[in-house]
Amino acid sequence: MCDKNYRSTLVSLNRIAGQVRGIGQMVEDERYCIDILQQIHAVKAALSRVENAVLRSHAACCVEEAIASGDADRQRSKFNELVEVFAKAKL
């Protein structure tokens, strides 16, 4: 990851990990299902924000470098990586 703000990504991921542990504790404590679902929704939204930030970083750095290189094979490789990631996300 070549984003200069990778620390904020790590902070976000650590926060999400804490949220997931909290959800596990909620299940152990037999909390109300709707409360658990709301926390799961919050984690999914937070992961989506991190995903978008990493995607922006990839486009601004890795893809941009491939385009600037003028190397068609490198450009095609970066494009194919994105296609594969999005194809897997649909599963």
Tell which wins on pLDDT, 67 or 37: 37
Do the Cβ atoms of 27 and 36 come closer than 8 Å? yes
Give residue-wise pLDDT tens across range 2-17: 767 789 999 999 999 9
The full set of domains in the chain, from first to last, is: 6-89 (1.20.58.1000)
Residues with Cβ < 8 Å from 42, sequence gap 6 or more?
19
Q: Tell me the pLDDT tens digit for each residue of 27-37.
A: 999 999 999 99
Query: So what's the pLDDT on residue 57?
Result: 87
